[in-house]
């Protein structure tokens, strides 16, 4: 869980703006909720190596990365950096291909806590199953605990090998998303295919939670931002898929109580409320780390819990087990009308023999009560209702 510079600033980064964002994350209470990694994406480094080492761009990071790392650590935050498994990064800065060991040592000496490792500018014939493990081993050899975030765009189906072979903690399953519906819905759909590969410490990564602004400009996309419903669906999908929750939100910009699309000088308070929801975060951070997936859609009414892939529909129910025996559900409406979505307990919680479940509204942080056999809700267009259900005895039925 953390923050990424990419969708907020692109290459227009500076140590001062990174510090401003970090301070805002502390002041808004996000650090204490678990958003601790501050990830500096592409463009922090120079175009050329100096004495064989990657060095920070001195104009953007005049105090150096080591200093910034200390500054972040003093505030209870962690530092994420970016590099690339090619000769140059996607923005043309010095990449790490052939320099894996020396770069991993450099990161460790600066106190880096996460490495995002991208896939641009690789010579033809480069085998990702060789270059990504090389950096994984180099990071491990430093002895420092560094989260290895592979960003191979899903080209070589990394879900099947990134965890074991490359020692990765997470791997991007697809291309970059745009902070708009249906871009995030498509990216989620792609990420969902690999649900069986998520496990504790190793996760499918659909990309960041980019919310509340136009890509790379740090300015809101006027009238074109995600709606409140879409923001809940976006966050709900990432939560239930156990995706890394990396917010690419301009937190240094003023946060206000504004309705959707009405104010271009700030971003709305409801984004903060959604990403700060403790019960949602608890589902995402659940120690079982079982990635939820779609078990029912209106395109396939007769799915069974053993189905590996249920086809997408207009209305869907995604679900996944939690460590304490509860089940997390997301009722998804991809259509344009308010629609009733029913979740069957036999399908989503086959181990609950009583077929009675206590249903909790995670967004509202309140109980709906105990229900028999199924639970249904009317869900708004492009919205996702996040629920936590616990098996209940017959007697508790009301």
Q: Which residues bind ligand GLA (CB under 6 A)?
A: 6, 41-42, 90-91, 118, 151, 176
| Residue 329 neighbours by CB distance under 10 Å | 30
Q: Where are the alpha helices (DSSP H) in 58-142?
A: 65-74, 100-110, 128-141
Selecting among 176, 186, 263, 361, the annotated active-site residue is 176
- 118 carries an active-site annotation: yes
Closest CB 179 distance from ligand GLA, rounded Å: 13
Beta carbon nearer to ligand GLA, 36 or 173: 173
Give me the least distance between CB of 18 and ligand GLA, in Å please: 15
**Nearer to ligand GLA by C-beta: 174 or 384?**
174
Q: Cβ-count burial of 347 within 10 angstroms (0-12 exposed, 13-18 middle, 19+ buried)? A: middle
Closest CB 118 distance from ligand GLA, rounded Å: 5
With H, G, I as helix, E, B as strand and everything else as coil, classify residue 60.
coil
Task: Say whether 295 sits in a helix, a strand or coil.
Answer: strand
Question: Is the peptide bond preceding residue 354 cis, with omega within 30 degrees of 0?
Answer: no
CA dihedral 117, 121, 126, 130 (to 10 degrees): -20
**Among this protein's residues, is 145 annotated catalytic?**
no
Residue with Cβ nearer ligand GLA (158 or 268): 158
How would DSSP label each residue in 249-262? --TTS-EE---TT-
> One of 118, 205, 207, 326 is an active-site residue; which one?
118
How many C-beta neighbours within 10 Å does residue 346 have? 11
CB 115 → ligand GLA: shortest distance, Å?
12
The two structure tokens encoding residue 126: 């480069």
Q: Mind telling me the catalytic residues? A: 118, 176
């Amino acid at each position: 869980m953390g923050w990424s510079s990419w969708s907020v600033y692109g290459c227009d980064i500076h140590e001062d703006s990174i510090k401003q964002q970090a301070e805002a994350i502390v002041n808004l209470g996000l650090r204490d909720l678990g958003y601790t990694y501050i990830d500096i994406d592409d463009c922090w480094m120079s175009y050329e190596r100096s004495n064989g080492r990657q060095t920070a761009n001195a104009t953007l990071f005049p105090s150096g990365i080591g200093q910034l790392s200390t500054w972040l650590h003093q505030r209870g935050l962690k530092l994420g950096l970016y590099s690339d498994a090619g000769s140059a990064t996607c923005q043309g800065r010095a990449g790490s291909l052939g320099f894996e060991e020396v770069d991993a040592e450099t990161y460790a000496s600066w106190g880096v806590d996460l490495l995002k490792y991208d896939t641009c500018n690789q010579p033809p014939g480069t085998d990702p199953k060789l270059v990504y493990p090389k950096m994984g081993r180099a990071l491990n050899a430093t002895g420092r605990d560094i989260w290895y975030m592979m960003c191979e765009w899903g080209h070589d189906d990394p879900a099947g090998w990134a965890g074991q072979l490359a020692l990765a903690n997470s791997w991007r399953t697809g291309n970059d998303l745009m902070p708009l519906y249906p871009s995030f819905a498509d990216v989620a759909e792609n990420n969902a295919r690999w649900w069986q590969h998520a496990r504790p410490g190793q996760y499918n990564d659909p990309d960041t939670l980019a919310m509340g602004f136009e890509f790379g400009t740090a300015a809101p996309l006027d009238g074109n931002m995600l709606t409140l419903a879409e923001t809940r669906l976006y966050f709900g999908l990432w939560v239930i898929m156990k995706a890394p929750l990396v917010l690419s939100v301009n937190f240094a910009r003023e946060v206000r109580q504004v309705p959707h699309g009405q104010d271009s000088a700030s971003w709305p308070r409801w984004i903060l409320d959604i990403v700060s929801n403790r019960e949602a975060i608890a589902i995402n951070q659940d120690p079982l780390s079982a990635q939820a997936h779609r078990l029912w859609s209106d395109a396939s009414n007769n799915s069974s819990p053993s189905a590996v892939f249920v086809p997408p529909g207009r209305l869907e129910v995604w679900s996944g087990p939690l460590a304490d025996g509860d089940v997390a559900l997301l009722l998804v409406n991809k259509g344009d009308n308010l629609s009733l979505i029913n979740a069957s307990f036999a399908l989503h919680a086959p181990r609950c023999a009583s077929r009675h479940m206590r249903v909790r509204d995670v967004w509202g942080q309140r109980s709906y009560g105990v229900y028999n056999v199924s639970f249904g809700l009317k869900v708004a267009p492009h919205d996702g209702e996040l629920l936590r259900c616990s098996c209940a005895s017959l007697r508790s039925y009301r």
